[in-house]
Structure 1
Amino acid sequence: MFSECHGDDTTSHPTAATIAGRIKRGSVQIQQAGIKASGRIGTRAMMAFLVMWAMVLQGLVQHSATVTLMALSDPLSSEDFAEYVANTSYVTRYCRPLNESLEAEASEEEPPRDEEDYEDDALLADNDTAHSGHHTRHIVAEPDLKVPLSEEDSIDSIMREAFLWGSFLSPLPASFLAAKIGPKRVMGGGILGAGALVAFVPFAWFTAYHMLIRVAQGILIGATWPALHMLGASWYPSLQRTGFVCYYSAVSVGYAAVGLVGTRVVQLVGRDWLCYVLTVLTVLWFLAWYQMVHDCPADHPRLSAEQRQRLLIAVGPGLASRQAVPPVPWKRLMLSGPVWACSLANLGSQWGQATLHLAVTKYLKLVYGFSLTYDRILSVLPHLGHFMAAILFGMVVDHARANDIVSTTTSRKFLVYLSHFPVGAILFIVGYSGCDPSAPAALFTAAVVISGATAAGTYASAIDVAPNYAGYVFGLSQTLGAAGSLAGSYVIAEGLHGSLPGSWRLVFGVAALVLAVTAMLFMAIGSGSAQPWNSLPLPESPDEPLVPAVTVEVTLDLDRETPGAEEEQDTMGEQERAENEKNDEQRVEVKEVEVTLTEQELTGSKTGLV
């Protein structure tokens, strides 16, 4: 009996070796499933899906601290909050119904009158109502200057700025690192590191250590942006890159998800569990990313020879192999007008986004009584609309460019115009939207949705001007973008709680001005064409891949044989000689096609060559 019981105990409690074996078999099965899925779905489609998943994780990580803080510090129910708004909202206190306001003013300022005067007033009131229609409220006083800043708001501001400082420091160094070790590793390491750090947050909630974790997360997340641009330039032809870049906007889906689902998780099972869930999701993403994504088509082991050849032709051999990129021409890059136009447009865009998500949301809560904690529509709909608009803009722009409806430069300038001027105008108007609470809520939603054009305009321009150095250009652009977010946050803090308290219109006006100025600079000197310093030189050794450049030697002497070619061919077998002759014929055909191209077409991109 003892042996039987002992045997049952052994089967019910597997040894460490058994567990390790199961984990290993499970890992192999996951890898095999990933290989099959990658083959059936398509390499680039799988990479696009994983990029969107990564951006959702970015949004979750970035806003997890804010959601946790607000979920635990706001014990009011929806009914209690409605009562709180009725008693404290600026609109409730300063926007009175027109009849009540007139009665109050009359009782305070005017002496007693006889019945005839009241009859005349009634006639005048009827006449005014007939002309005014449904507008029966008006502002009778300016809101209080002092905008309340709770302890939770102060902690949230510190944590958010710590993250922004990290994202300001890392993009440019990360572009060097991605060029050295590959964008796949930088992207994977950045997301995995940021997600893994979330697991340590339960031991450091809202302490100095938590702030250090936020800085580190900002550094790791900021490093992913230039790596993504390098992957896009290596895997996608010019006429398809806009769609890929628009996948970055999935970060707004992360904002919506953490606000909608994260709040419930914190309230039901505690704030620590939100951190553990994020860490698990990040690890699962990393396993898929490491298995299915590669730096360029030349490095992908599961691409067929035909698929690899098509990508080499469409993207360009230099980009598709990442072996022929020369040293960065820093002087020309830093003196390039289109590069600075793209970077400054990104600064303006992120300044505007900071104002929308920090100042306008606070304005809706304190002035009009909205709370994104309770209003699911305002906390989810604008972010989902932003992502859907970005995808739509990317599809439309790539289609228009592929069919020669508009040039790349024209499309980029139009999208920058769309993502800056209307958003700036809305920000300016919000400060004068009056007592109707539906107006600023609708304007806020419209501004967030329209700003979805940023990815197809500003972000994509960083690849257009220098595909071979897209990581460096976008690293500079994101550095200035993070600076714009920090500057916008500082102006909001000073304009609402600091030296200029309660200056709502000033905060909105400054953001509108920054958006307008940066957009005008892009309209003046921005470009969607590859710059001359982006061109790759011819390879110096026969082992290097062909690059898309044509010189006088290539164009005028196509039939010249390589020295020693006859001796080399004599030593070949029959099969190798036939194969070599076939490859020579293909090279001649490619060269003859390239000879007919103009210099502008070679640096442009209808053939995918850059």
Structure 2
Amino acid sequence: MNSAVDHQDEENTPLLQKQAGQHPAPPKCCSVRYNLAFMMFLGFAVVYGLRVNLSVAMVAMVNATNGQSTSNGSEGECPAPSGPSNTSNPNPDQPGVPRYPWDPETQGMLLGAFFFGYLFTQIPGGYLSGRFGGSIFLGVGVLGTAVLTLLTPLAAHLGAKWLFALRALEGFGEGVTFPAQMAMWACWAPPLERARLATFSAAGSNFGAFVALPLTGFICNTLGWPAVFYCFGGAGCLWAVLWFFLVSDEPSKHPRICDQEKDYIINSIGSEGGSHGWAVPLLPMLFSVPLWAIIISQMCSNWSYYTLLTSMPTYMDTVLHFDLSQNSFLSALPYLGAWLFAVLSGVLADSLLERELLSITAVRKIFTLVGLLLPAGFLFAVGFTGCSSILDVTFLTASTTVGGVSAAGVFMNQIDIAPRYAGMLLGITNTFGTIPGVLAPIAVGHLAKNHSLVGWRNVFFLSAGVSAFGALVFMLFGSGKIQSWAVRECETEADREH
């Protein structure tokens, strides 16, 4: 019993104390809060489908004689394997489907263009979602990105600069989605269900990548690459219609929620959740060490994630010489594992907190350490596999899979340290976390411009080192305590009187 009190004192989280017996948890099955998590899951699956489809489609869009040429006789370059699938051009031209002479540097710029726009709407999206509610921003973000995706073939036809601008606009629209999600969970997620709800909904991104990558390869081979963007854009528009019809910002505003579930959510969250006013404590945020620990760790984790997300299909094509169907499936495989590990980590993290076995700080640090350090080790190992496609795929899959564990670690930490400002904090951390999305594809285009093993080895070593550094920073400076600047002054004074 004393250990439980110690944990609560250490974390200074009155939210956990509000899970009292007078408000028993209603059934999870078919509840409004879990239906919301499922809708978010589908939304982020669509979002990541819209984001990653260009990674595989790029292989079909580029003229192989120009954009994907390897350096003749470069040292360590893997020979193309013999076999029926490699006796002809693995990405054959289709009648009426254009191909473009984009070199590796241009491809890297196009793959990173999304993140140029993604940078600018994270913080405004988080702030406005925390002020007005997140449902409208999440829905409009997905809908706008989907509509722009429908224009991708036209932009590519007009030229690389037009495609770059379009992808940047897509990122601009999608930038509000994750902050809006966190702002909604500040109103909807009871503290002891927080990790499983948030990780399940956000795990839709990994599931979306898992489905989108092979589906993109299949559509490219059967219908041509332009159909990829029409299919994914249409799916995003359909999801947006369902979202606006089914979702509300807060439990008190939902027309179909039962009183038992509404009272349970509102009373368990208390006044620390919900929307904030126009004023936010910017200066305390700026000097908050736990917040900077989140920022740095997410940047480091995202460097590896975005490197593999945007560049693995190119690696599979130019180094391991897989055809487009094999390429898209093997590029997708790691995200199935990451999805499963993210969901399971959320359940396990909540279980540890519910049983009072570990403090919030300890849980977040353990899951972050596992989710960043082990993937770094697997990426480091890839640099020594040479031309062994089996080992390459095994280590790359293991790296992304285990990385899913960090979903219950650093990627949940914003709502721990400042529930009321969770949407804005996610906007801040995601803004910094998007910088690797801009730089990583460019770095890959530079380091691996000759498609040699040496160049790609440097790519994997760099990613491993950055990820390990992020784990170290969070272990030293991360925290699960609610920060003093995130607590309402009136409540702080009331607590002191008692």
Alignment of structure 1 residues 15-414 onto 2, 5 Å: 41-73=30-62, 90=76, 151=102, 153-205=104-156, 207=159, 208-246=161-199, 247-320=201-274, 322=275, 325=277, 327-358=279-310, 362-370=314-322, 373-375=325-327, 377-414=329-366
Matched-pair contact (CA < 8 Å) for 1:51–1:248:
yes
Letter aligned with residue 51 of structure 1: M
Cα root mean square deviation, aligned: 3.1
Letter aligned with residue 62 of structure 1: R
Q: Alpha carbons of 1:268 and 1:436: their partners in 2 closer, same or farther (altered >3 Å)?
A: closer
Please give the per-residue CA displacement for 1:205-261, whole angstroms capped at 9, x wherever unaligned. Answer: 252332222111101111111111111111001221111221212212222222222
Please give the per-residue CA displacement for 1:360-418, whole angstroms capped at 9, x wherever unaligned. Answer: 65455444444564246523321111101111111111111111121111111111111
1:550 to 473, 489, 494: 494
Matched-pair contact (CA < 8 Å) for 2:63–2:101:
no
Alpha-carbon distance in structure 1 between the residues aligned to 2:315 and 2:475: 31
Q: Alpha carbons of 1:361 and 1:198: their partners in 2 closer, same or farther (altered >3 Å)?
A: closer
Please give the per-residue CA displacement for 1:31-65, whole angstroms capped at 9, x wherever unaligned. Answer: xxxxxxxx993211211111111111111111233
Secondary structure of the 1:451 match is helix
Higher RCO structure (Cα 8 Å, ≥6 apart): 2
2:385 to 428, 433, 458: 433
Alpha-carbon distance in structure 1 between the residues aligned to 2:280 and 2:417: 14
Matched-pair contact (CA < 8 Å) for 1:354–1:488:
yes
Alpha-carbon distance in structure 2 between the residues aligned to 1:92 and 1:202: 33
Alpha-carbon distance in structure 2 between the residues aligned to 1:441 and 1:399: 33
Letter aligned with residue 396 of structure 2: F
Alpha-carbon distance in structure 2 between the residues aligned to 1:158 and 1:503: 18
Matched-pair contact (CA < 8 Å) for 2:313–2:327:
no
How far 1:263 sits from its partner (Å)? 2.5
Alignment of structure 1 residues 490-529 onto 2, 5 Å: 490-497=442-449, 502-529=454-481
Secondary structure of the 1:550 match is helix
TM-score by length of 1: 0.67
How far 1:162 sits from its partner (Å)? 1.1
Letter aligned with residue 477 of structure 1: T
Alpha-carbon distance in structure 2 between the residues aligned to 1:379 and 1:506: 20
TM-score by length of 2: 0.81
Matched-pair contact (CA < 8 Å) for 2:219–2:228:
yes
Q: Alpha carbons of 1:69 and 1:295: their partners in 2 closer, same or farther (altered >3 Å)?
A: same
| Bigger CA radius of gyration | 1
Moved more, 339-348 or 181-190: 181-190
Look up the match of 2:489.
537
Alpha-carbon distance in structure 2 between the residues aligned to 1:72 and 1:326: 46
Moved more, 65-74 or 388-397: 65-74
Matched-pair contact (CA < 8 Å) for 1:465–1:531:
yes
Alpha-carbon distance in structure 1 between the residues aligned to 2:241 and 2:320: 46
Matched-pair contact (CA < 8 Å) for 1:202–1:275:
yes
Alpha-carbon distance in structure 1 between the residues aligned to 2:317 and 2:64: 16
How far 1:501 sits from its partner (Å)? 10
Letter aligned with residue 550 of structure 1: A
Alpha-carbon distance in structure 2 between the residues aligned to 1:506 and 1:154: 17
Letter aligned with residue 419 of structure 1: G
Identity %: 24
How far 1:478 sits from its partner (Å)? 0.5
Q: Alpha carbons of 1:294 and 1:411: their partners in 2 closer, same or farther (altered >3 Å)?
A: same
Look up the match of 1:586.
none
Q: Alpha carbons of 1:201 and 1:355: their partners in 2 closer, same or farther (altered >3 Å)?
A: closer
Alpha-carbon distance in structure 2 between the residues aligned to 1:548 and 1:358: 46
Q: Alpha carbons of 1:268 and 1:367: their partners in 2 closer, same or farther (altered >3 Å)?
A: closer
Stretches of structure 1 lacking an aligned partner (at least 5 in a row): 1-38, 77-83, 96-148, 539-546, 556-610
Q: Alpha carbons of 1:401 and 1:372: their partners in 2 closer, same or farther (altered >3 Å)?
A: farther
How far 1:326 sits from its partner (Å)? 7.1
Q: Alpha carbons of 1:387 and 1:89: their partners in 2 closer, same or farther (altered >3 Å)?
A: farther
Please give the per-residue CA displacement for 1:159-212, whole angstroms capped at 9, x wherever unaligned. Answer: 221101111121012122213332111111100110111222233225233222
Letter aligned with residue 170 of structure 2: Q
